Structures are given as C-alpha cells and as structure tokens.
Amino acid sequence: MSTHKFTICLWFNNEAEEAAKFYTSIFKDGKIGKISRYGKEGFEFHQRPEGSVMTVDFEANGMQFQALNGGPHFKFNEAISVVITCDTQKEIDYYWEKLTGQGGKEVQCGWLQDKFGLAWQVVPAVFQEMLDSTNKEGASRAMNAMFTMKKFDIATLKQAYQGQ
C-alpha cells in the first residue's frame, strides 16, 4: 500500500510568498521549499505577469502547505481552521501573539484570524483531557469557563475544572 501525503493549499490574492515567510517565521521547524512562477502560458486565464510567484511550498510544525497566488476570487472563512495544541500557557501566549499580531484578530474560544484571514485555534492539551475525564461536572465547568475566553487561560480552566 502506498503512502500519500496531504498538502494543504491556501489560496491568496498576491500574498503567497509573504504568507509563507510569515508562517515559517512562527514555527521553529518552519521552512520554505519550492517556489513556482507563472509563465506566459495561460495568461488569458490567470492574468499574472510572467515570472510572478504562483505557488510557494512550505512546512510548518511538520505539516505541508502550499500557498497559491490565485487571485481575489476566494477568501478564507472559519469553516476551515488550523488547530495548534499547546502544552503550556507560554506556548499559547507565543502563538496567540504571533498569529494575532500585524493585523490579526482575536475571535472566541481559542480561535483567532491571522492577518491574512486564516482561522486558527490555539488550544491547551489539558483542556481536552478535562473534557475526556470521568469528572463530568468538572468538564462542564471547564467548558463553561472556555466560553468566556478569547485566548485560553490554563490556570482559569484548571480552577473551573476543580470547582474553585
């Protein structure tokens, strides 16, 4: 049986290279791969100058992405998001600051939109452990606490879970 890799393609108007640099700067193992450029072929369809960036392959946190300069036809929305599971509050704060910086915006329940409009959820691993536990009352309190948050606060979730 062959192994197939998934690559997530993110459609931008003209910001593919900028976005790839932004994302790879945030993740310690981020790296830019192949950059493809538009040629003369198909100009009547893509309307892009010859030599301009078409796609940028990049890796962030072990995931493969491709940024495409495909024009303004499609925009990001919350129906698709990238989830980052964090072990510490320091990690949550780091990703939250980097992804909301430069024009991103906080949303709710750990969700945010970065400056390009891509939706992310920055989640503490301990929250899922709380929800999966046999302590249903604690899980309910943690869930209620989560609904009051934009950025997750692990200490507040733990206090709620423990009934404090």
> Are residues 85 and 69 part of one domain?
no
Tens digit of each residue's pLDDT (9 = 90 or more) over 17-32: 999 999 999 998 999 9
Q: What value does the mean pLDDT take over residues 139-164?
A: 97
- CATH code assigned at 156: 3.10.180.10
- The gap between the terminal CA atoms of the chain, to the nearest Å, is 52
Q: How confident is the model at residue 5 (pLDDT cuts 50, 70, 90)?
A: confident
Both tokens of 90, joined, read 């320091």
What is the structure's pLDDT at 46?
85
Domain range for 15 is 1-74
Tens digit of each residue's pLDDT (9 = 90 or more) over 24-82: 999 989 999 999 999 999 888 888 999 999 999 999 999 999 999 999 989 999 899 99
Instruction: Among 27, 47, 74, give the residue marking a domain's end.
Output: 74
Contact assessment for residue 53 and residue 69, using Cβ atoms and an 8 Å cutoff = yes
